[in-house]
Amino acid sequence: MSSRLVTFELLWDLLTNGSIHVTLSTGQSMADPILELEKVTVRRGMGVVLQDFSLQIKSGECVILHGENGAGKSTILETAARLLPMESGAVSHHGSLVCDAQGRRLNPDSPFGLTLQSNCLVGSQTVDQHLTNVMALCAKSIDLKPILSAFKIANRRNDKIAHLSGGQQRKVAVIAGLIPAMVESQPRLVLLDEPDSGLDDSAIKVLIQFIHELRNIGHCFMIATHDSRLFECGTSLNDLTSEKTQEITNSDRWTMEAKPNSVSLLKTKIGWKYNSSTLVSIQRNWLAALLVMGGLLSIVDPLTLSDETVILMGFTLAPAFTLGLVGDAVFKILNEQRAIDWWRAQHNLVPNSYIESFISGIILTGISSQIFIQSVDYRIIIIGGLIAFATTACVRFLQLSTIRLARTNAVFIRLLTPILILPWGIIVDYCAKL
Amino acid sequence: MRVKSGDMCLIAGFSGLMLTLYLAFNWAPSVDINAFQSPEAQRIFYWHVPAAWAAFIAFGVLFVGSALWFFKRSPLGWKLHIAGSEAGLACGLMAVWSGCVWGAAEWGTPWDWEDFRLNTFGLLTLLALFLVLGRQSQPDGVESRDTFSTFGLYGFVLVPITYIATRIWVIRHPGPVIAGDENSSISGDMALVLMIGALSFTVLIIGHIMTSIEITKFEQRIDRLQKELDGE
């Protein structure tokens, strides 16, 4: 990637997260742990779920976490995936720190496989689109047909995920979790939380076989499950109080070859793909902006206000502002089935629709300029685009800041958005004088 | 029934507020009729300024409570956070509402979206509303406490900004009354009523915080007992 692109991605990171996160890179031998949880303490609700918990997983190992409901299996997995803040301790992938109790969250050196209890899918995408996105994140591609055929969903490859049954959706989520290992010959970490949930017997057999093959070429797994059939995959069985190692006789190896796939500005591209495949920004942001424009037109004839330049400029820039206030369309999509958590685990920069907001702001301001001030000034149009972009970024920042809450849709974070009216009003005044 | 010190403060503060209202409308001198568009509406000032003063105290308590929870995991910190946000909301709404009434009479508009102080103070009140409503919408846990404490910490940045806004960026809102320059001085009788109002609001806020801490303690005790009944 060129230095200019790196700078752009870092700036993007700054906009999205309020800080720049740098990926650490260190050399590592095969004997070093791929995943290391070091004296991790995690609280959920008002209770301490994990207390000084430590675990190491090396290349070629598969740890099966089992135990009663509420024992902390998912908490371990989600902590390893950088999704839960810790009271103490640290998590490392491939020998590099990825998160710790001081709140540091560093992008992992390499993508890792992740299947959470929720499927983390976007219903409006096709199976192919979703899995292609995951491969793009790994910068490699592989022929999906034999994998989909093994799970008996090859015929649903071009269907939207929302049209699949619950079990078929689970298969897609499991495949997505395995892909980072499937496309890579270097050891990769795979975290699977109850992958068997909703799968039929034949799919579980396929899953077990894939895990054996991938583990035998050096990938490592941590799997939380209640299904004893998956226990045969484990080099160790951990019930969170004690660990038992076991021998595995299966020596089949994964042989499928992957091709390299160049990646740049991936999250922006994927945000664009989410938007274009779902048209969610049209049905939410554009609709609100056009309704505001129509509402303003219904109460006033712009020709009668020709001397009121500030009011007319306010009307001109109102649709772009409204478009931004509705929020990031991609954020809304990603809230389905915890897809946003899947992305947050992989990278600090989550797909966004900043580019769409900027372009939409330009188009809407162009239309409203023609309607309200009967002229098109390119400076006003660019400012309209910037208003939409900046407002979207601010609303998204507020939404992201409440992502840890149990009921993110019930929190009243939008109450804070009226503060954006002040800078918008100042910009309107400025534009009226242009 | 045992009357607690929090209740005593609430009663004393409320009585003081009634006295402030009486003095403001019946005893305090009128302002120069040439200096204001609506001189009689200026009497709202005796309610508005003490309410804003009390809101700042409440936001200070919110900040201290948020910091204590966030950095020390102090249960008292969380109780102060709750008390501060509730008191900040109540006093903030009183200050905003009385300001809107005065603005409508004096400026001809209840709100100016381009006045820096109005907007920052409005945001502080909305922040308190967000914290109160948000807390009620979420199950109590370290996740919600951390999130709301963070907002409490960042929100406090607005307090000094709001205070100095009328010094550095005067648009419509009058300058500071307390600790302002020589132009901000007011007559003795006016200052007396204002002081009674500020003192009453302060006592009321202290009473509210003490009572709120007590209520939160009871809520947490009930929660613990419920969990014991559930066998957790």
pLDDT at A25: 39
Residue of B nearest to A411 (CA): B134
CA torsion angle B26 B31 B34 B36 (round to 10): -90
Q: Point out the least confidently predicted range of A11-25, A42-56, A116-130, B153-167.
A: A11-25
Residue B84's pLDDT is 94
A298 has pLDDT over 80: yes
Using a CB-CB cut-off of 8 Å, the residues of chain B touching A411 are: 130, 134, 137-138
Per-position DSSP letters for A230-245, written without gaps between them: GGGG-SEEE-SS-EEE
For A43, which residue in chain B has the nearest alpha carbon? B142
Which residues lie closer than 8 Å to A378 by C-beta, 6 or more apart? none
Within 13 Å and on the Cβ side, how many CA atoms surround A422?
16
Q: For residue A211, is pLDDT > 80? A: yes
**pLDDT per position as a tens digit, A212-242:** 999 999 999 999 999 989 999 999 999 888 8
The answer to whether the Cβ–Cβ distance between A415 and B126 falls below 8 Å is: yes
**Count of A–B CB contacts within 8 Å?**
77
| Helix A421-432 × helix A378-400 angle, to 10° | 170
Q: How far is B136 from chain A (nearest CA, A)?
A: 9
Instruction: For residue A402, give how far its alpha carbon lies from the nearest alpha carbon of chain B (Å).
Output: 6
Residue A30: pLDDT band with limits 50, 70, 90: low
What's the rounded Cα separation, in Å, for the pair B134 and B152? 12
The number of beta carbons lying within 10 Å of the beta carbon of residue A371 is 16
Give the B-side interface with A, CB within 8 Å: 113-114, 116, 119-120, 122-123, 126-127, 129-130, 133-134, 137-144, 146-147, 150-151, 232
Q: What is the pLDDT of residue A216?
A: 92
What is the rounded CA–CA span in Å between residue B55 and residue B126? 12
Contact between A416 and B144 using a beta-carbon 8 Å cutoff: no
Give residue A157's identity as a one-letter amino acid code: R
Task: Please state the three-class secondary structure of A313-380 as a single string.
Answer: HHHHHHHHHHHHHCCCHHHHHHCHHHHHHHHHHHCCCCCCCHHHHHHHHHHHHHHHHHHHCCCCCHHH
CB contact under 8 A, B113 and A416: no
Chain A nearest CA to B218, separation (Å):
16
Residue among A422, A413, A258, A257 at smallest CA distance from A335: A413
**Interface predicted TM-score (ipTM) of this complex, two decimals:** 0.70
Statement: residue A286 has pLDDT above 60: yes
Q: Which two tokens stand for residue B125?
A: 């009140």
pLDDT number for residue B219: 85
A150-154, A263-267, A367-371: lowest mean pLDDT where? A263-267
Per-residue 3-state assignment (H helix, E strand, C coil) for chain B: CCCCHHHHHHHHHHHHHHHHHHHHHHCCCCCCCCCCCCHHHHHHHHHHHHHHHHHHHHHHHHHHHHHHHHHHCCHHHHHHHHHHHHHHHHHHHHHHHHHHHHHHHHCCCCCCCCCHHHHHHHHHHHHHHHHHHHHHHCCCCHHHHHHHHHHHHHHCCHHHHHHHHHHHCCCCCCCCCCCCCHHHCCCHHHHHHHHHHHHHHHHHHHHHHHHHHHHHHHHHHHHHHHHHHHCC
Interface of A with B (CB under 8 A): 43-47, 85, 401-402, 404-407, 410-413, 415-416, 418-419, 421-422, 425-426, 429
Our CA-based measurement puts residue A296 at a distance from the nearest CA of chain B, in whole angstroms, of 19
Residue to substitute from B137, B221, B226, interface A, most A β-carbons within 10 A = B137
Q: Check pLDDT > 90 for residue A249.
A: no
Q: Which residue of A has its CA nearest to B148?
A: A402
Regions of chain B short of the pLDDT cut 70? 1-3, 33, 35, 165-186, 231-232
pLDDT digits 0-9 by tens, A61-95: 999 999 888 888 999 999 999 998 888 999 999 99
Nearest to B119 among A402, A422, A429 (CB): A422
Q: What are the start-end ranges of the H helices in A97-150?
A: 127-137, 145-150
CB contact under 8 A, A416 and B127: yes
Contacts A311 to B, Cβ<8 Å: none
Position B166 scores a pLDDT of 61
Looking at CA atoms only, how far is residue B102 from chain A in angstroms? 21
In whole angstroms, give the CA distance from residue B126 to residue B133: 10
Residue A237 token pair: 């069985």
CA distance A14 to chain B (A): 18
Cβ of A422 within 8 Å of Cβ of B127? The answer is no
Give the per-residue pLDDT at A18.
Answer: 44
Q: Tell me whether residues B119 and A421 touch, CB distance under 8 A.
A: yes
- d(CA B141, nearest CA chain A) in Å: 4
| Residue A379 clears pLDDT 90, i.e. is over it | yes
Please give, rounded to a whole number of angstroms, the shortest distance from the CA of B2 to a CA of chain A: 32
Query: Which tens digits make up the pLDDT trace of A129-171?
Result: 899 889 988 888 899 999 999 999 999 999 999 999 999 999 9
Q: How far apart, in Å, are the Cα atoms of B226 and each of B215, B219, B220?
A: 16, 11, 10
Kindly determine whether residue A401 and residue B151, on different chains, have CB atoms separated by under 8 Å. Answer: yes
Question: Nearest Cβ partner of B114 from A85, A406, A422?
Answer: A422
From chain A, pick out residues whose CB is under 8 angstroms from the CB of B232. 47
Q: How far apart are the first and last CA of chain A?
A: 40
**Of A224, A140, A240, A136, residue with least CA distance to A186:** A140
CA-to-CA distance for A410 and A383, rounded, in angstroms?
33
**pLDDT tens profile B148-176:** 999 998 888 777 777 776 666 656 666 66
d(CA A215, CA A253): 8
Instruction: Identify the pLDDT of residue B45.
Output: 87
C-beta of residue B54 within 8 angstroms of C-beta of residue B91: yes
Q: What would the two tokens of residue A214 be?
A: 């991938």
Q: CB distance A45–B126 less than 8 Å?
A: no
* Chain B interface, best mutation among A46, A102, A403, A426, by max B CB count within 10 A: A46
Q: What is the DSSP string of A246-274?
A: -------------EE---SSHHHHHHHHH
